[in-house]
Amino acid sequence: MTDPQDTDPASVRKNTPGRGVRPEATAIDPAAPDEFGLVQVWWGDGKGKTTAALGMGFRAAGHGYRVHMLQFMKGGADSVEAVRGEYNAIAAMPGFSYENLGHYGWAGLKDGSDDADHAKQADAGLARAKELVAGSADADLTEPLDLDGDPEDGVHFLILDEILYAVAMDLLSEDDVLELVEEKPENLELVLTGSHDNPTYLHDVADLVTNVRKVKHPIDSGQRARRGTEY
């Protein structure tokens, strides 16, 4: 039987992390997370996989943790302008950095791009991801990191955006990604995104697997990518 005292408003507030105090913005100073170290997988045919990863990245950076995003397969395309709102926002955010190893166009499509170039970029992305994971393994992730430091010197939160698409398109192998997860240091939060195909090969090693499902999407009726929502 539940003790009524455990459910009264005062007790509920007392047992929450913020003790019922309304949160407010504070200055961002270098800090270290207490509970990082999970592997997150975001896949599906719905819009929002990268967006979710970015949202968590901004949240982590807002606490003073060092965050980096490495993007696979996101080069230029005729459907978007040569600017992305998230890059501008990341550049203005202390402790958050990014890099892009995509190539123009999309692998497997007749859009004028060369599939061999896509494969070369994916291989370069994998090599860079290994470098970033190794740098974090050498760093003390239980301590604050320089918010302006090079990402290869260690980060608390690493996003490998669209890496799962690279596997689905046979630009990388499942074993490539599994090896990255295996090499991940204990306190590094690792987020992997992409792919309309279920990455079942990761189910046993991931702590969180989210399927972002499409119910309805304006692209199906001809809506092109919009500045401020898709890029």
First-last CA distance in the chain? 52
Q: What is the pLDDT of residues 192-221, one digit of tens each?
A: 999 999 999 999 999 999 999 988 877 777
Asked whether residue 12 carries a pLDDT value surpassing 90, the answer given is no
The burial of 221, by beta-carbon neighbours within 10 Å (0-12 exposed, 13-18 middle, 19 or more buried), is given as exposed
Sheet of 208-211, strand order = 96-100, 67-71, 157-161, 189-193, 39-43, 208-211
pLDDT at 173 over 50: yes
- The average pLDDT across 169-190 equals 97
pTM for the full predicted model: 0.84
Q: Residue 104: which pLDDT band, with cuts at 50, 70 and 90?
A: very low
**What pLDDT shows up at residue 111?**
45
Confidence class for position 112, pLDDT limits 50, 70, 90? very low
User: Which has the closest alpha carbon to 29: 72, 61, 75, 70?
Assistant: 61
pLDDT band at 3 (very low <50, low <70, confident <90, very high): low
Please enumerate in sequence order all residues whose Cβ is within 8 A of that of 41, keeping only pairs 6 or more positions apart, or say none.
164, 192, 193, 199, 202, 206, 208, 209, 210
Q: Which CATH superfamily is domain 36-214 in?
A: P-loop containing nucleotide triphosphate hydrolases (3.40.50.300)
**Per-residue pLDDT, 7:** 60
pLDDT digit string (tens) for 33-68?
999 999 999 999 999 999 999 999 999 999 999 999
| Radius of gyration of the CA atoms of the chain, in A | 20
